[in-house]
Amino acid sequence: MTKNRFKLWQLGKKVRKPFHSLRYFIQNFFSKNEFPEYTVFSILAIITGASVGLAAVLFHKLIHFFQHFFFEFLLDKFVFIGLGVVIAIPIIGMLLQSLMIILFPKTAKRKGVIDVIKAVSTRGGYIPFRTTLFHAIAPAISIGSGGTVGPEGPAAQIGGGVASKLAQLFDLSDQRKRMFTAAGAGAAISAVFNTPLGGIFFALEVVLLNDFHTATFSALILASVTASVVSRIFLGDSPTFHFTDAGIGAYENFYLFIILGIAAGILSLLFIKYSSLISELFSKHLKGKYPQWALMSAVGLLVGLAGYFYSEIFGIGYDTINDFLNGNIAWHLAIILLVLKFILVPLILSSGGFGGIFAPTLFMGAAFGYLFALILQSLGVEANTTTFVLVGMGAMLGGINSIPISAILIIFEMTKDYAFILPLMLAVVVSTMIVQWKLKGTITAKHLEEAGFEVSSGRDTSILKSLIVSDVMKPDIFIVKSNLPVPSLVSQLVENPHTVVYTTDSKGKINGVITDNEIMPIITEYDTLSKMLVANDIAKTEVTIVNESDNLDVVFKLLGKSSIHQFPVKSKEGKIIGVIRRQDAIAAYNKATMKMNVKDSFATELRTLNQSTTAKVSDGYSIIEKHVPRDFVGKTVVDLKFRNKYGLEILMVKHKQSVITEAVTEDVTIPSTNYKFKPNDLLVLFGSDENIEKFTSEFY
């Protein structure tokens, strides 16, 4: 170990010592007092919310610090240069961000809400603490130096990171860690916007991809409300936006809000398409030819030039939104600001700048709603500009980010005015519907798919994908020749317990399926028709056949599209070897779910299990910890077919992972089917004593 690395190791040891002492204190406190589980759960959610609220307040203060540094301190020091220094400030900000990217390239790639979703879905809710710190400082520099982006994406990442760190401190299972990480992200949105309901539904709609569970909802509520309270204590309770009147007008004019929603949906699609083109331009063409610092400096120059002539474009833009709400902006300036925001935001983010998209969409929505109202007024239609600005903000927020419920609640809570809620709901739903119809899903799902992640319904889909058709199918399939006369077919049906019949051609290939729906119509005229028909005459020719290697996720999707409750199964060679039925698939899923719940319930207790020490669970069943066999390294659970081959369950994997510094500490995860084993992994296994003994004798 070199001298520098030794010092780093010593530093990491000093940093971790109080961390582990606090962890021990918390665990000891809860175990001694024997609180009910829901009480412990609620206390942890409140602690998480309070911590995230404080982190959001610090992030808010950090942004203001950099704004003061760049636009007051620097301007004052270099006033002799003239206002031209304003152009240089965004360039300096982009250069500082590019330097951070060069120094911490891997951490820099873990950007915004998308990384929180990945952490919750694929990393057991784990977010490294250095990632949280990085994405607090970089966006604060970006916004503070005039970058025309928002604080909400970074805030969600900060909140998720703080919650993830607390989950490690509390020594929670991976299931609970995912839950609290999502709750932390939602709580951060609650604190930044002062919108507890908006924060709750942001976590549900975006971070959890609408994967709702009661326990999760409880954590979201407690954490979000607590974070909002902390934020209000330090930042005040006044609404973000200020206006005097938001009259909705006559109900017969509500069609105008539908038109606004349609127009906002189209504008949202244009923004999404433009953002995608700019991202592709930078990633595939420009970044390969030019250094990133040069590209970011060029974008900073554009922002500086825009801000030199139109200072309203700098930063988050809430003051300008208030000007829109109160009608203090000229129509030509509104057009310019809308176009500049539309153009610059994707340029900043695609070139490598840090920031969120929510605030820019609110800004564009405000400008668009304001212009829409002015156009109506010029046509002689009575239109309240304040109402159309608010509705435009919600329509653009919901459309671009695919968050209809969150958009409605955020606008409502930020304004604290219920009067315009009906037109707001109309426009937001219409705008979001147009975007999702065109994109065939949400923008979040689109970004995840572009990054190579399949969007699914979370844990349920993970369980289904771990179950293979060959393990669930039954070999007793009912097959007859397609030329079998109907009387003989009916006789076999009476004697056979199965109600679904498959027909085969002369080569033995399935070419039809017969169910009660095909049999019943001929019963009424059985004497006449039975002598004329053969099985092939009444069989349905569309037969869905699944492979023995398919997983149950594939089967359930097929069951959802078909009225048939079973499918034939073919082998790799193409031979029909059995049938998989709906009830068998459901039974296998329920059994796997029960095992998963057992894993989660054992998770905390098993963290202290000593290696090679067997813990008896019941007669004939035990839990043991073993080093991963050398043959397993680099392979996944699916590759090894672990459960089928060894008859054991992997309850968790203990492995070495960095927490704060480069020094290492033990971490625990419940592996997915795609988890790839590493050399230092320790496996915590559950199964019968007989299978454990066989496994031990084979590898140890």
300, part of any domain: no
Sheet containing 501-504: order of strands: 479-481, 501-504, 510-514
423 vs 83, residue with greater confidence: 423
The DSSP annotation for 6-32 comes to HHHHHHHHHHHHHHHHHHHHHHHHHHH
pLDDT recorded at residue 485: 82
Kindly state whether residues 468 and 451 are assigned to the same domain.
no
Encoded tokens for 77:
């020091």
| Residue showing tokens 């069951």 | 559
pLDDT recorded at residue 9: 40
- Is 80 exceeded by the pLDDT of residue 199? yes
- Is 70 exceeded by the pLDDT of residue 660? no
Kindly state whether residues 479 and 536 are assigned to the same domain.
yes
Above pLDDT 70, what percent of the chain? 79
Give me Rg for the CA atoms of the chain: 30
The DSSP bridge pattern shows strands 479-481 and 501-504 to be parallel
Encoded tokens for 114:
């998308």
Q: Which residues contact 121 (CB under 8 A, 6 or more apart)?
A: 178, 209, 453, 458
Kindly state whether residues 257 and 342 are assigned to the same domain.
yes
Distance CA 24, CA 394 (A): 46
What is the residue range of 533's domain? 464-586
596, part of any domain: no
Distance CA 252, CA 255 (A): 7
Distance CA 414, CA 547 (A): 53
- Is 70 exceeded by the pLDDT of residue 495? yes
pLDDT for 438-475, tens place per residue? 887 777 767 666 655 555 545 556 677 778 888 888 88
Kindly state whether residues 212 and 256 are assigned to the same domain.
no
Do residues 12 and 657 make contact, with C-beta atoms less than 8 angstroms apart?
Answer: no
511, part of any domain: yes
Confidence of residue 352 (pLDDT cuts 50, 70, 90): very high
Give me the mean pLDDT over the 615-634 stretch. Answer: 77
- Range with lowest mean pLDDT among 433-447, 552-566, 587-601, 602-616: 602-616
- Domain harbouring 549, CATH code: 3.10.580.10
Number of domains in the chain: 4
Confidence of residue 118 (pLDDT cuts 50, 70, 90): confident
Kindly state whether residues 366 and 468 are assigned to the same domain.
no
pLDDT recorded at residue 669: 72
- Domain harbouring 219, CATH code: 1.10.3080.10
Torsion of CA 275, 276, 278, 279, to 10 degrees: 110
Encoded tokens for 379:
């046509």
> Which of 31-35, 144-148, 193-197 is most confident?
144-148
